[in-house]
Structure 1
Amino acid sequence: MKPLYLRSSGSFKRLLLSLSPHRAKRVHAPPDVEHPSAQAEAASPPHERNPEWECFSYEEVRRATGGFRAANLVGRGGSSEVYRGELADGRAVAVKRLMGASACERRERDFLAELGTVGHATHPNVCPLLGCCVDRDLYLVFAFSARGSVSANLHDGEEGAPAMGWEARYGVAVGTARGLEYLHKGCRRRIIHRDIKASNVLLTDDFQPQISDFGLAKWLPTEWTHRAIAPIEGTFGCLAPEYYTRGIVDEKTDVFAFGVFLLELMAGRKPVDGTHRSLLGWARPLLNEGKTEALLDPRIVAGNGGYDAEQARRLAFVASLCVRASATWRPSMTEVLELLEGVEIKEERWAMPEPAAGDDEGEEMWGFDDLDDDDEDEESGTPSPLSTSSASSA
């Protein structure tokens, strides 16, 4: 049988050759192969240096995961498996193995797309890519997050265990906003994540959030206003209307999902619950009526730690802006971050015009109350791959 690189497409073959284990151990992030415009790379900010990551051999990856032992499997999706591991130097890692036939073009494209997005990101609130392996199969190696995802910390605690406190929740909201604002504005690549949700935000030992799982991410060159994507992928209950109906993707797609994420942090409810009712459908009337305390997780309201009423009002206000049906009227992540970090809230600045008679783009049409999803399989992308809780669905 031919080696993998001899059976691959031209662009993928060149990458495999450049990342051969016999070549340099540390490499620069590769150019993105999806985009046809060569000028886009030249338009990237000149001051930002390419991130570097390691090219691991198969033996290193195999040894780190104990031979891909079943006990080390921490997540599985339709196109990948994720294993906990430890490198020879003691670093804890999560190894994401892309599944499928060895010559599958979709698998190669997904591998290159993820390298072309997270491989260019360097920020405290973005989970770092440590390296990859193209020896025998396709692997991405990330830092491992032992504290798990935000979703696991909100929903998977033992009965009677203390809930995540308000201070931690607000810190997660601000930190995640910083990471997302960086992806949209600060990174040399303008990255749209497309699957922002609590199970894709991991927590460091000191509860700093890190955005993970770039399996659905796309990047937008400066001269593009949006991208049209097919098929529609993501998580029900978090999909922006313009993406769900027309496949339109830009920064405001992530802003909408971030609004749902804020509601999940506040309420301690999943985007879609076991009765198929959406968090957004439940929360929207409370947001419209300004009933902030009714939005809060009862475990916080009744707990000894309490909550900061002003911060709760800010989160509710920002969430209400982010989940607006019209992308035009949503804030940018820069504006979101300013509001969360304490800029004065001027409600008149964000007032929307009265809808015209017969206007069918009302706010209430996107409640997602009648979803037909199956328990754990409410998304068509890959799971959050980097923590002990990565198998959770939302």
Structure 2
Amino acid sequence: MAFAATKPSKSPLLILLVSGVAFLLLASAAECYGGGRHDVTRSAVARRSGVGSRRQYVRHRLTGGAVDVPHRYMLAEKGSNSTRANHTSPAASNSTPSATTTEAPAAGKHHRSHKHRVRNWIIGFVVGSLAGVVSGLAMSVLFRMALNCVRGGYRSKSDTVIFIPKLIKSKEHLAFLEKDQDGLASLAVIGRGGCGEVYKAQLPPEREGDAPRFIAIKKIKKRSGDGSGGQNNNLSDEESRQLDKWTRQIQSEIRTVGHIRHRNLLPLAAHVPRPDCHYLVYEFMKNGSLHNALKATTTDTTTNDYNDNNSGEHPPPSPALPWPARLRIAVGIAAGLEYLHVSQRPQIIHRDLKPANILLDDDMEARIADFGLAKAMPDAHTHMTTSNVAGTLGYIAPEYHQTLKFTAKCDVYSFGVILAVLGTGKEPTDKFFAQQVVDDVGIVRWLRRVMQEGDPAAQAGVIDAAIAGAGHDEQILLVLRIAVFCTADDPKDRPTAKDVRCMLSQIKN
């Protein structure tokens, strides 16, 4: 099925109109330029004819009128200078007025030709400049359409938007999501969270014999009170306007995220809006999430957002993730976070950074997922529901509970907790912290106290036993110190994402 651009009914008409105006302006400029050239030619001929007349007149005066002067006047001139002064040749006297009369009109005509030529050049310059501007606008429109085509910013009449056409070739591949009944009923659930479920689907192969391709589909439930599903028929006009504004903001937010590209960010492949939910389509990451990789020796996979477990059986235990891979993942997370905070305008704040939202590609590189979708998430004013408090409570910065506002330093705090998890192997909600005698002790305060005391034995004891003693203990302790910096109580004392990325890169190298 062919796809139209974002505004298929206006773009071709606009291009034809702009092209027509540009053609008319260019034609006018060419005509003015041609008229100016003819005027210049005529002025040059007039000047040459005027110069010829003046030369003939001067030559006539210098010869003394020898051709037309009678013989008696020539004898008189030979005899006396006074005679030459008193007796002027009739021919000379007759020729002088005629020469003067010829020269005056030529000078006036030359003046008028010069003014006409300057005027034509001014008109040609103005019209040519306007034609250039209009042509530039037309080229910019064409370039924008071509750029949207390359980026995959296409949608169909059903408002399905495809951002990565290399992965999803046609809207027909997602037609099952547009059915009135739930099109995901036959798919396996590979993850659950506060915003909805995550499903795994297989795309048809491009050619017979190709390897199967998979996508992950996240179903985001709309907030209570939202909707076009018949639940809001009693809304007032003001509430309806606010709801429409919120819906437009969601559409704009999702499409903005769909065009973001970075090696450490998981790009949005497609968006399928439905009356009661949003379907967000991503490339399937077969290595799962960082949460699953760190818990590889356990059998708990219920919190993995992209776990490759289609059969419902628990995968066998696998070796623990080595420290070099963990450090490379940490550097990738910091690079992606720096891109969101620094390179994007307006700044994008993740708001829910945790190991379950860090996916691993085929090369075990980190990919940050679920970024820039604050308005699309249910209960966006709190970012916490009863179903996901246990999973994110330990990653939220303490100042959020006071201000209810997320900042870039909140993301840095969450990333500091992730660094602590990478180095210690303990989750913020680990039973180890519940057994502590001191009240209000979590992974952040526990790690800060151990690192500040300076006891080498105690510091070595916080390292994950699965990676301790493998020759990387010094690097691990340096990363844990960075985790303490990132989780400072005062947001002003925390480093930026760029600073964290630079420090981790130095440790890695």
TM range (shorter): 0.5 to 0.7
TM-score by length of 2: 0.51
Structure 2 CA distance for aligned equivalents of residues 294 and 110 of structure 1:
49
Contact 1:58 1:135 survives alignment (8 Å): no
Q: Which residue of 1 aligns with 2:173?
A: 60
Kindly indicate which of the two structures has a greater share of residues assigned to helix: 2
2:506 to 342, 346, 365: 342
Matches within 5 A, 1:1-394: 23-24=3-4, 52-53=152-153, 55=161, 60-61=173-174, 63=176, 67-69=183-185, 71-88=187-204, 89=206, 90-100=212-222, 102-103=227-228, 105=243, 108=247, 111-112=250-251, 115=254, 118-134=257-273, 138-158=278-298, 161-214=318-371, 217=374, 230-231=381-382, 233=384, 235-274=392-431, 277=434, 278-290=442-454, 291-301=458-468, 306-342=470-506
Structure 2 CA distance for aligned equivalents of residues 208 and 246 of structure 1:
34
Report the residue type matching 1:334 in the other structure. Answer: K
Structure 2 CA distance for aligned equivalents of residues 77 and 317 of structure 1:
31
SS in 1 for 2:476: helix
Q: Which residue of 2 aligns with 1:6?
A: none
SS in 2 for 1:316: helix
Larger deviation, residues 118-127 vs 203-212: 118-127
Contact 2:217 2:281 survives alignment (8 Å): yes
Instruction: Give me the identity figure in percent.
Output: 34
Q: Which residue of 2 aligns with 1:347?
A: none
Structure 2 CA distance for aligned equivalents of residues 52 and 286 of structure 1:
51
Residues 230/102 of structure 1: CA separation in 2 closer, same or farther (3 Å cut): closer
How far is 1:307 from its partner?
4.1
Structure 1 CA distance for aligned equivalents of residues 453 and 249 of structure 2:
43
TM-score by length of 1: 0.64
Structure 2 CA distance for aligned equivalents of residues 283 and 195 of structure 1:
22
Taking CA–CA contacts closer than 8 Å with sequence separation of 6 or more, which of the two structures ends up with the larger relative contact order? 1
Query: Unmatched 5+ residue regions in structure 1?
Result: 1-20, 28-48, 219-228, 345-394
SS in 1 for 2:448: helix
How far is 1:250 from its partner?
1.4
Structure 2 CA distance for aligned equivalents of residues 110 and 144 of structure 1:
27
Residues 170/343 of structure 1: CA separation in 2 closer, same or farther (3 Å cut): closer
SS in 2 for 1:240: coil
SS in 2 for 1:210: strand
Q: Which residue of 2 aligns with 1:40?
A: none
Contact 2:357 2:370 survives alignment (8 Å): yes
SS in 2 for 1:193: coil
Root-mean-square deviation over aligned CA pairs: 3.5
SS in 2 for 1:192: coil
Report the residue type matching 2:215 in the other structure. Answer: V
How far is 1:83 from its partner?
1.0
Contact 2:296 2:319 survives alignment (8 Å): no
How far is 1:237 from its partner?
0.8
Contact 2:268 2:282 survives alignment (8 Å): yes
Which structure's CA Rg is the greater one?
2
How far is 1:80 from its partner?
2.2
Query: Unmatched 5+ residue regions in structure 2?
Result: 8-146, 155-160, 163-169, 207-211, 230-242, 300-316, 435-441
Contact 2:254 2:373 survives alignment (8 Å): no
Residues 98/339 of structure 1: CA separation in 2 closer, same or farther (3 Å cut): same
Larger deviation, residues 152-161 vs 125-134: 152-161
Structure 1 CA distance for aligned equivalents of residues 152 and 496 of structure 2:
29
Q: How many residues align?
A: 291
Residues 110/343 of structure 1: CA separation in 2 closer, same or farther (3 Å cut): same
Residues 113/247 of structure 1: CA separation in 2 closer, same or farther (3 Å cut): farther
